Amino acid sequence: MKKIYRVLEIIVTIVLTGGIFLGLSNIVERKNSHVIYDDFWKQNDNYDVLFFGSSHMMNTALPNELWKKYGIKSYNMANAAEAIPTTYWVMENAFRKTIPKVALVEVFFVGSESKVTLEQESQLHNFFDSAPLTITKYHAITDLFENPKDCCSYLFNYSLYHTRWNDLNEGDFYPAISHNRGAIPLLQHYTPIIDENKVRLYEINALSVEYLTKIKRLCDNKGVKLVFVLNPYAAWTQNYTGNWDYERITNELGVEILDLREANVVNIDLDFADGAHLNISGARKVTFYYGDFLISKGYVENGDTKKDEKWAELYKGYIRNKIELLSECKDAESLLTDLNDIDFDFDIIIRDEQALSDLVKKEIQSNCTTENSQIAYDNNIENEIVINIYEKDTDSLLLKKEY
- Identify the bridge partners of residue 375 per DSSP, sorted by sequence position: 348
The backbone torsions φ and ψ at residue 370, rounded to the nearest 5 degrees and listed phi first, read -65, -20
Domain ranges of the chain: 32-114+176-318, 329-402
| Among the listed residues 92, 84, 177, 181, the one whose alpha carbon sits nearest the alpha carbon of residue 128 | 92
Per 3-state DSSP, what percentage of the chain is helix, strand, and coil (rounded to 5)?
45, 15, 40
| Among the listed residues 54, 125, 127, the one whose alpha carbon sits nearest the alpha carbon of residue 277 | 54
The pTM score is 0.87
Strand ranges, E, within 96-230: 102-106, 201-202, 225-230
What is the rounded distance in angstroms from the CA atom of residue 126 to the CA atom of residue 29? 11
| pLDDT tens-place values along the chain, 403 residues long | 666 666 666 666 665 655 554 555 555 466 677 778 888 998 888 899 999 999 999 999 999 999 999 999 999 999 998 999 999 999 999 999 999 999 999 998 888 888 887 666 667 878 888 888 899 999 999 999 887 667 767 776 655 565 555 666 665 566 677 789 999 999 988 887 765 555 556 678 889 999 999 999 999 999 999 999 999 887 554 444 456 788 888 899 999 999 998 788 998 888 999 888 999 999 999 999 999 999 999 999 988 888 889 899 999 999 999 999 999 999 888 888 888 898 999 999 999 888 788 878 888 777 776 567 788 888 889 899 999 999 988 889 999 999 9
76 and 262 Cβ atoms separated by less than 8 Å: no
What is the rounded distance in angstroms from the CA atom of residue 294 to the CA atom of residue 291? 5
Indicate the pairing of strand 256-259 with strand 74-76. Answer: unpaired
| Among the listed residues 128, 33, 39, 94, the one whose alpha carbon sits nearest the alpha carbon of residue 318 | 39
32-114+176-318: CATH topology: Rossmann fold (3.40.50)
- Continuous segment of H or E residues that includes residue 241: none
